[in-house]
Amino acid sequence: MIKKTTTAFALGLLFSLPLAADPEKLVIMGSDTLGSKLVLQLKEAYMTLGRDTEFEISAEGSSQAFANLLAGEADIGMSSRDAQEEEANRFLAKGKKLVEHAAGWDMIAVIVNEKKGVRKLTLKEIEGIFTGDIMDWSELGGKPGKISVYTRNTASGTFQIFQRLAMGGRDYSASSQKLAGNEQIASEVAANENGIGYVGLAFIDKKGLRAVKVDGVSPSPKNKGKYPLARKLFFYTAGEPKGSVKKFLDWATKSDAAKEIVAKVGFISVK
């Protein structure tokens, strides 16, 4: 008897209410610079507004955004660099189009340990350090010590745009360490006297670190236009955004509340 009831119940559950619907959710993937702080707070604020939207956010690096947008796994890609030609080509080959939405401005700050006397570096020196031409702090006039170069992992947009802006497109030195996030670079540089690394503006405000002046300009929102390592941050979609994606992007890129969050986190909002 019990068996029959259970079977009937199970069958009923499976087939009696044939209402098909897919839940609404925004899958956001990509840059750690955006995703480990800014987008989390945008999400929280957006959900507090009472919008019934579910989010799935993962942030391993900008390349993740393009790979997953292409595969249809992500709705919105976060990127701290513009799309490479190669990536755009891949979208083209599939008959899709990448659409970019400006999320804000950022500066890549070069950070050193506070105990290190280095306060400013020229772009030339930075190129030398990150490509491995300069191997020891004594070459820059500092206390001798082998330089530990901390870079982001290869998926990162910061990794690539820094290569373009500061290293003349040259390869990173083989002895650079590839860490998975701005915060991890900040922690390691703060813990290692001979360390040097780079992070986005939102991550320089930490103990034990010093952001050096690059060519005499320090990274700070007020030096916008002067600081040489500035870059734009983007949201990307595959094709023009529609529905909930559009609603969220409009809010995140245009509303005052979102701009306030962008500024609070440490980035510079777009006009």
Residue whose CB is less far from other proteins, 174 or 271: 174
For residue 104, give the 3-state DSSP assignment: strand
- Is 81:102 a contact under the CB 8 Å cutoff? no
- Cα–Cα distance measured from residue 154 to residue 168, given in angstroms and rounded to the nearest whole number: 17
Helices (H), 49-205: 62-71, 85-93, 123-131, 157-166, 182-191
In the numeric block, which tokens belong to residue 19?
Answer: 């209402």
Q: Which is nearer to other proteins, 48 or 271 (CB)?
A: 48
Residue identified by tokens 């890549």 is 108
Q: Is 240 in the site for other proteins (CB under 8 A)?
A: no
Pick the closest to residue 250 from 32, 71, 26 (CA basis): 26
Of 50, 85, 225, 256, the residue at the interface with other proteins (CB under 8 A) is 85
Q: Exactly one of 2, 3, 5, 48 binds other proteins (CB under 8 A); which one?
A: 48
Q: How far is the CB of 50 from other proteins (least distance, A)?
A: 11
Among 31, 33, 34, 61, binds other proteins (CB under 8 A): 61
* Distance in Å, CB of 95 to other proteins, minimum: 7
Q: How many residues bind other proteins (CB under 8 A)?
A: 106
Radius of gyration from C-alpha coordinates of the chain: 22
Near other proteins in 99-128, by CB under 8 A:
115-117, 119-120
Q: Does 72 bind other proteins (CB under 8 A)?
A: yes
Residue with tokens 């390869």: 171
Are 91 and 239 contacting, i.e. CB atoms less than 8 angstroms apart? no
Closest CB 93 distance from other proteins, rounded Å: 4
* Residues ≥6 apart with Cβ < 8 Å to 45: 257, 258, 261
DSSP-assigned beta bridge partners for residue 120:
213
Stretch 143-182 residues interacting with other proteins (CB under 8 A): 143-146, 148, 153-156, 159-160, 163-164, 168-172, 174-181
**What is the CB neighbour count within 10 angstroms for residue 214?**
25
- Map residues 196-235 to x or -, x wherever contact with other proteins holds by CB under 8 A: -------x-xx------x----------------------
- Tell me whether residue 189 or residue 230 sits nearer to other proteins (CB atom): 189
What's the CA angle centered on 259, arms 256 and 262, to 5 degrees? 155
Is there binding between residue 76 and other proteins (CB under 8 A)? Answer: no
Using the rule CB under 8 A, give the single segment among 20-28, 99-107, 229-237, 242-250 that binds other proteins: 20-28
Question: Is residue 260 part of the contact set for other proteins (CB under 8 A)?
Answer: no
